[in-house]
Amino acid sequence: MSTDTAKTADVRRPDWITEELLSDLVSRVPSSTGASWKLTEVYSGEVLVALPQSSPADVERAAAEGRAAQRKWAATPLPQRLAVFRRAHELILRNQHKIADLIQAESGKARRIAFEEVCDPPMVISHYLKRAPKLLRDKKRPGVMPVLSSSIERHPPRGLVGIIAPWNFPFATGLSDAIPALMAGNAVLLKPDNKTALSPLYGISLLEEAGLPKGLFQVVCGEGPDVGPTMMDNVDYAMFTGSTATGRVIGEQAGRNLIGACLELGGKNPMIVLDDADIDETVGGSMFAVFGNTGQICMHIERIYIPEAMYDEFRDKFVAAVEGMRIEAAYAFGPDLGALVSPDHLARVQSHVEDAVAKGATVLTGGKARPDIGPTFFEPTILEGTTKEMLHGVTETFGPVVSLHRYSTLEEAIELANDTDYGLNASVWTTDFKRAQAVAARIESGNVNINDGLATAYASKSTPSGGMKQSGVGARHGDQGLLKYTETQNVATLKKQVMGPQGKQTFDDYAKQMQMSLRWMRKLGIR
C-alpha cells in the first residue's frame, strides 16, 4: 500500500457524542462491585467511557427482572407488540447517522460499513412484521381420527433469551437477533462485547422510546468467563455469534441445561472464479467480499481460487485495485478501509501474515501495520503461495488478508474450497447461472453467493442463514429465525372415546378394523 493512498486524518468525534450521553448509556449496565472496563475510541486510542462490569449476582438480578417483565409482555396481544417495532423501524432510520457515529467510535470501521450495519435491524423488523402474525398464530391440524379429533399447533415464547453478541457488528447482531425474540413474546438478556457496547445500548433506548416496556431488554457486560456461565444458567435459549472455540463452550453448557442454542461460528470462506467469469466485474466484487469491514466479517472471503489461464490477469488487476484503496480514520464517507478493532486483534492479523511469509508465502501488496494512521490500522494484504502449514492457510485470520490460489480443473477447485473444517460462506463467479447453481450445490457451506461475496445471502432475510460443519448450529433469518425463540405445543382434542375396542368388540376385530382404516385413509389421502 503506497503512502499516497493513506492519510493521517484529524479525527474529531461528532459533537453529539458527549460524556453525558455516554454516561447515560452505560448507566443501563448493572454493576454492584463498581468494576469497570476502559472503552476506547479505536481511531485514537482515547478512553471514551468507563463501562461498568457485571458480577454473576448482577446477571442473576437482570435475568429475574427480565422474567418479571416478560410475563406481562407475553400476555400483550401480538398486534400491540408489533406496533412497537413499527415505531422502532422509523426511529432507527431517523437516527441512522448517529448510530453509525457510535459504531465507528467503538469499532473503528469505515463509514460505509457502519451505515450499512444500521440498515440490518430495520430490514429484520420489516420482514418479521409481515411474517410474525402467520408464524405465531395457532394452527389447526388434522387429528389422529378424522372428524372425531383435531390438533392445534401453538408457539408460546420460551421466556428469557440470552444473546451474546460479537464486536464486529455490535448493533446489527445485538438488535437483529433480539427483535424476533421480542416479537415472539420473550424477554432478552444481552451481553455485548466490552469493546462495542455503546451502539446496542443506544439501540435499546430507541426501542424503549418506541414503546418497548422497560426491563424487558436487559444488558450485562463483562468478560465471557466472568458472566457467561451465569448467563447461560439463567436463560431459556441462547443465541451466540463468535468463534468456534467459544461456541463449543456455549453449546456444551446449553446441552447440560437442556436449553436450545443457535451458534453462528467461524469461517475460512472460499471464492471460486470460474473460467467464464468477467474478470473486471469479479475483481470489483472481490474488494468488498475480502476487505469489507477491514476483513472483520464472519462471511468474508479469505481464499480465492482462480483458473490457471486467468490467474495472472486476475492477480495483476486485483493487486492494482487493492493498492488504490483509501485507508483512513474518518467519521465520514470516503475511506474504503477503517481500523481493526483493537491492538490485540491487530497483533493476531500481523502474526498470521508474518507466519505465512516465514514459511514461504509472498506478499503481493500490503502486509504492514500503519501506526501513522492510527493505533490499529493494517494495510489490505494479498498473499500468494499460502499452504496449510501456515496459520492463514487453515485458520480464520479475520482481517484484511486474502490468499490467491491457482487451479487446473473445476473438480480441483471444489475440492480445495471444501478442504476446511469450516462451512459458513462461499462465493462463485461466472456468467453461466445454471453452471453456478450446480457448483454451489457441491460446496459444503451454509451460504453460497453467486456473483457476490457475502451480502446477497445475508441480506435475504426470508431465507435462513447458518453454517455447516464447524461453522455453527441453527440459523438466523427465515421462518426458523423467529420460531427458534418459541416452544412448540400440541393441543389435541378427542370428541369421543373411540381409541380401542368398542362395546363387545374383541381386540382382534378392533385390530382388523384399524388396519382397514389405515389403508383407506392412505388411499383417500387422509393419512
Catalytic residues: 264
Three-point CA angle 450, 453, 454, nearest 5°: 100
* CA gap 1, 381 in Å, rounded: 8
How many CA within 13 A on the CB side of residue 343?
8
In 233-358, where does DSSP find H-type helix?
244-257, 279-291, 308-323, 343-358
Cα dihedral sign, 456-461-464-469: positive
**365 contact partners, CB below 8 Å, separation of at least 6:** 1, 319, 322, 323, 379, 380, 381, 382
Q: What is the DSSP letter of 212?
A: P
SS3 assignment, position 93: helix
| CA-closest candidate to residue 297, choices 81, 454, 405 | 454
Q: Are strands 401-407 and 475-476 parallel, antiparallel or unpaired?
A: unpaired
* CA gap 381, 404 in Å, rounded: 11
Contacts 24+ apart (CB under 8 A), 18-26: 19/49, 22/48, 22/49, 22/198, 23/49, 25/49, 25/198, 25/201, 25/202, 25/205, 26/50, 26/51, 26/52, 26/197, 26/198, 26/201
Radius of gyration of the chain (CA): 26
Q: Which single residue is written with the C-alpha cell 499516497?
A: 4
**Where are the extended beta strands (E) located within 389-507?**
401-407, 425-429, 447-450, 465-466, 472-473, 475-476, 489-494
* CA gap 400, 188 in Å, rounded: 33
- How many angstroms separate the Cα of 58 from the Cα of each of 6, 156, 379? 45, 28, 41
**175 contact partners, CB below 8 Å, separation of at least 6:** 120, 121, 124, 200, 203, 204, 207
Give how far the C-alpha of residue 60 lies from the chain's centroid of Cα atoms, to the nearest Å: 26
